[in-house]
Structure 1
Amino acid sequence: MMSLCRNLAVLLLFLSDLPLHHSHLSTHAASTFPPATRPPIIFMTAFGSDDDYDDDYSDSSSPPPEVVHAVKTTFVQREVQLCQYNPCLENQEPCEQISAKTGCLCPGVSGVNELPHAPIIQVLRPISEGDDKGKIEVQWCAPSSVVSGYRVVIEGSEALEFGEVSRRGLVGSLEVGTKVCVEAVNGAGHSSSSEFSCKRYTLPESSEHKLLAGVIGGGVALLLLIIAAVILWNHQMRKKAKRDSADGLGNPSYSTVGTL
């Protein structure tokens, strides 16, 4: 009975000491191994979403970046239109005024303080009718320059002056071979002579001379046609004679002596 009580006392003492030992083991294990940490979880959304900007910059003091949209600019090419201006016509509206009205483009013109370019002389035409019969009409085209007037210079004579809108002028009778030049004038001086601004006077062909030349040409052509026709006729006659002669020699009953 005493031994049974002693065994119970030892068992109770062992059971009371067991929680302390278990607590000591737990403390030792906690100090040996580092605490377990969970990796952060990163949530990703689709690129370009507006929610990304709201989440990233909701707690930030700086404003979200400004999105610059490309603007497409279309350039419309305007067709260039030249002014209906003929520099060879007389008393014509200046090209500057035409451009101001219609918006067209004028040809390039040298400045008022620069010597003008030389005009282009067109023709020296004699006047055959009216009050100016016997005189010579000089026609020219304006240069691409600022012009205040024109001068017609004849060798051996004084120059004749004309207005800035003029494109022709009358001069006295001229001898064949006389040189006539047209000069443009402005505040800087006058243009220099060139092969385009000067011309020598020659006699024009009259209508009578043209008619005579036509008659002579027609007569010569008719004569050549007759000669060609005669030559062809002779050639055909010779061919026919040769053919007839060959046919007679081929016939056995044919004899130059006579019939037997």
Structure 2
Amino acid sequence: MMSLCRNLAVLLLFLIASPLPHSNLFTLATSTTAPATRPRIIFLTGIGSEDDDDDDDDDYDYEKPTVPTQVVKSVQNPLVHQAPKLCHYDFCLENQEPCDQISAKTGCLCPGVSGGDQPPHSPRIQELVPITRGGDRGKIEIRWCAPSSVVTGYKVVIEGGEVLEFEDVSRRGLVRSMEVGTNVCVEAVNGAGHSIPSDFSCMRYEHPESSDHKLLAGIIGGGVALLLVLIIAAVILWKHQMRKKAKRDSANGLGNPSYSTEGTL
């Protein structure tokens, strides 16, 4: 116990006599002390004013809680694709409303048509029909269909040099009577020129058989067939009667002994 007290006294004297300043001693003591930890406070966002938040940021170190971001998916309405509707336009029908006007009213689509800066395509001739009744009897009606081009008029060219003109809305025309085999062509015309004759825009006139002639031929043919049937039936009936008569005569001859094929005994 005495030795311990002696050692403490010696240590105290050594420290008093040491050349180190007291400040260093305190600094050393301070450095060995554990660093003080500042309390961390977590504040909720959105409470208080912006000025208070700024002051708190200066005094305290805080962490803001992270809020998960919600991704809102854009909802797109599916587009319904409808098939394009074609205009109700007949190239062979006369005095129709132009297809572009029909399209402007209803929103339909017109068939592809070449522009007016190009010569039109050839129209398609349908038939040559002779007129058999009325005031135009003896004339021939020409019927055609419009091409897929801008047309300002039509020309009917008859073999031999005759040319007749018709309006752009026309699809038929009357021409004079012509001989069988005469070639007739229909041409489309616009500001850029006229169509070129083709196999389907030209036709040779062939006089069709009259319905009366067909009816007469049918009646004659039916009469001849009926007459042949009657003749054949009459021949068959006559032969049948002859066979019956022969059998009857044969039976009568066998029943009478006085009768023979050579005469009476």
SS in 2 for 1:211: helix
CA separation in 2, counterparts of 1:233 and 1:225? 12
2:203 counterpart residue number = 199
Deviations 1:52-87 (A, max 9, x none): xxxxx9368xx9767251534312132433222222
Aligned residues: 193
Asked if 1:106 is matched to 2:110, the reply is yes
Distance 1:228 1:156, change over 3 A: same
Deviations 1:146-181 (A, max 9, x none): 111101011112321111111111212211100000
CA separation in 2, counterparts of 1:228 and 1:77? 73
Aligned amino acid, residue 142 of structure 1: A
**TM superposition shift of 1:237:** 8.6
TM-score (norm 2): 0.60
1:179 counterpart residue number = 183
CA separation in 2, counterparts of 1:213 and 1:118? 40
| Unmatched tracts of structure 2, length 5 or more | 5-62, 258-265
RMSD: 3.6
Distance 1:96 1:225, change over 3 A: farther
**TM superposition shift of 1:134:** 2.4
1:94 counterpart residue number = 98
2:153 counterpart residue number = 149
Distance 1:75 1:231, change over 3 A: farther
Q: Which of 119, 125, 128 is matched with 2:129 structurally? A: 125
Choose 74-83 or 173-182, whichever is displaced more. Answer: 74-83
| Unmatched tracts of structure 1, length 5 or more | 1-8, 14-56, 249-254
Aligned amino acid, residue 161 of structure 1: E
Q: Percent identity?
A: 62
Q: Which of 58, 61, 70 is matched with 2:64 structurally? A: 58
2:81 counterpart residue number = 77
1:158 counterpart residue number = 162
Distance 1:91 1:239, change over 3 A: same
TM-score (norm 1): 0.61
